[in-house]
């Protein structure tokens, strides 16, 4: 009887000791802390989505994961963002793929002028491309979000009503937008968006070719009094995580992040579409900008000039060993599928 009692007591004590050692790391390790780098200033849409994602992860993990955000290039600059993520300078980073057109060939193709009418459709097309082709460019990171901007328009100090007005006009652009502007006769100037404010002030550029929310977010409406609605070309973004940081996460946290990927990307797309409308209304009300609509007959001429841009991209993709025409055909098919 005593022997059985001793065995029971010994077993009970051993059980509690084992449970204590199992639970101690969870109790005393504290929350997982991750750094998230971004290049645009706060209140711009890439930083708004960053803050929203950070809050969602903290909420959905019940505080087990804490995200510290670094907007405005305070941790990693725009052009070094992807390499900084790979190197582990930040656990997470948001970057514009259009800033490195040769590196993200497949996903950047979603920015070509192929008919996506808004950020929502463009974002779904981007995801479809990524899932189908699984580009090698992302093999060293974990992609956790992707989204496309609203189609780009011309914001300028002088009115642009036809192709003649574009001749030689110096406009900030990057990625597929550069080729489009060249085809139209303009002079594209490459630079990150945050540098464009000073470039406008100094007269280095006479405007920019981008999605319209920047009129408010960067206060470009103060310097560019005209907005020509071309609705062509998009800027694809991605949010990626350092692979070592990803592999260290518990499986349940990884699942939460993966489950949020498409949902958050679409939240960003919807926010961006609405924010472009809001920024345009704000610019008209506060800075009296003129919105110029290109007549359909005139826009046909503009689109005709863009056909070689698409053909050249296909040739370049083929030269890199990619199925250029198949990718473009897929973009058109995905655009139609999602309502473009």
Domain extents for the chain?
A: 32-149+236-275, 152-234+278-337
What pLDDT is recorded for position 29?
64
Instruction: Tell me yes or no: is domain 32-149+236-275 CATH 3.40.190.170.
Output: yes
Along the chain (340 residues), what's the average pLDDT of each consecutive run of 10 residues?
46 46 46 97 95 98 98 95 98 94 94 96 98 97 98 97 96 91 96 88 95 94 96 96 98 98 98 96 97 95 97 96 98 92
Q: What is the pTM of this model?
A: 0.88
If phi > 0 it is left, if psi is from -120 to 50 it is alpha, else beta; for residue 162 that is beta
- Domain 152-234+278-337, CATH number (from 3.40.50.1100, 1.10.10.10, 3.40.50.720, 3.40.190.170): 3.40.190.170
Tens digit of pLDDT for each residue in 29-39? 689 999 999 99
Alpha-carbon distance 305 to 283, whole Å?
A: 30
Place of tokens 């977010």: 217
Contact between 118 and 148 (Cβ < 8 Å): no
What pLDDT is recorded for position 28?
39
CA nearest neighbour of 268 among 101, 87, 78, 38: 38
Distances from the Cα of 99 to the Cα of 4, 77, 212, 236, angstroms: 73, 12, 18, 10
Same fold, 32-149+236-275 and 152-234+278-337: yes
Distances from the Cα of 122 to the Cα of 105, 119, 126, 228, 277, angstroms: 16, 5, 6, 21, 17
Would you mind telling me the total number of residues written for the chain in this entry?
340
Alpha-carbon distance 71 to 86, whole Å?
A: 18
- Chain-centroid distance, C-alpha 319: 26
Alpha helices by DSSP H, the chain: 2-29, 45-60, 81-87, 105-108, 119-133, 163-166, 176-184, 193-202, 214-217, 243-248, 251-287, 296-319, 324-337
Per the structure block, which two tokens stand in for 111? 């920015």
Burial per residue of 148-167, b for 16 or more beta-carbon CB atoms within 10 angstroms, e otherwise: bbbbbbbbbeeebeeeebbe
Tens digit of pLDDT for each residue in 296-326? 999 999 999 999 999 999 999 999 999 999 9
What pLDDT is recorded for position 212?
93
Which is it for strands 236-242 and 187-189: parallel, antiparallel or unpaired? unpaired
């Amino acid at each position: 009887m005593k022997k059985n009692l001793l065995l029971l007591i010994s077993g009970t004590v051993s059980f509690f000791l084992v449970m204590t050692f199992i639970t101690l790391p969870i109790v005393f390790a504290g929350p997982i802390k991750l750094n998230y780098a971004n290049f645009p200033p706060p209140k711009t849409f890439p930083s708004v989505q960053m803050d929203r994602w950070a809050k969602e992860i903290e909420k959905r993990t019940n505080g087990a994961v804490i995200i510290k955000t670094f907007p405005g290039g305070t941790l990693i600059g725009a052009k070094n963002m992807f390499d900084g993520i790979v190197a582990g300078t930040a656990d997470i980073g948001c970057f514009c793929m259009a800033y490195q057109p040769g590196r993200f060939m497949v996903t950047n193709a979603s920015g070509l002028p192929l008919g996506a009418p808004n950020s929502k459709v463009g974002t779904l097309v981007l995801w479809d491309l990524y899932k189908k082709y699984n580009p090698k460019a992302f093999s060293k990171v974990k992609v956790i979000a992707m989204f496309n901007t609203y189609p780009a328009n011309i914001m300028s100090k002088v009115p642009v009503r036809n192709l003649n007005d574009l001749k030689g006009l110096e406009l900030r652009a990057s990625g597929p937008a550069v080729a489009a502007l060249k085809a139209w006769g303009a002079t594209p100037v490459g630079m990150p968006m945050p540098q464009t404010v000073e470039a406008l002030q100094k007269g280095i550029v006479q405007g920019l070719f981008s999605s319209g929310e920047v009129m408010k977010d960067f206060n470009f409406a103060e310097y560019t009094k005209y907005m020509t609605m071309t609705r062509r070309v998009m800027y694809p973004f991605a949010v990626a995580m350092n692979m070592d940081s990803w592999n260290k996460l518990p499986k349940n946290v990884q699942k939460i992040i993966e489950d949020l990927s498409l949902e958050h990307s679409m939240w960003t797309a919807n926010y961006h579409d609405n924010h472009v409308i809001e920024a345009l209304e704000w610019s008209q009300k506060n800075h009296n900008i003129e919105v110029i609509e290109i007549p359909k007959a005139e826009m046909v001429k503009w689109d005709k000039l863009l056909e070689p841009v698409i053909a050249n991209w296909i040739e370049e993709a083929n030269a890199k060993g990619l199925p250029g025409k198949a990718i473009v055909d897929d973009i058109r098919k995905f655009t139609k599928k999602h309502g473009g």
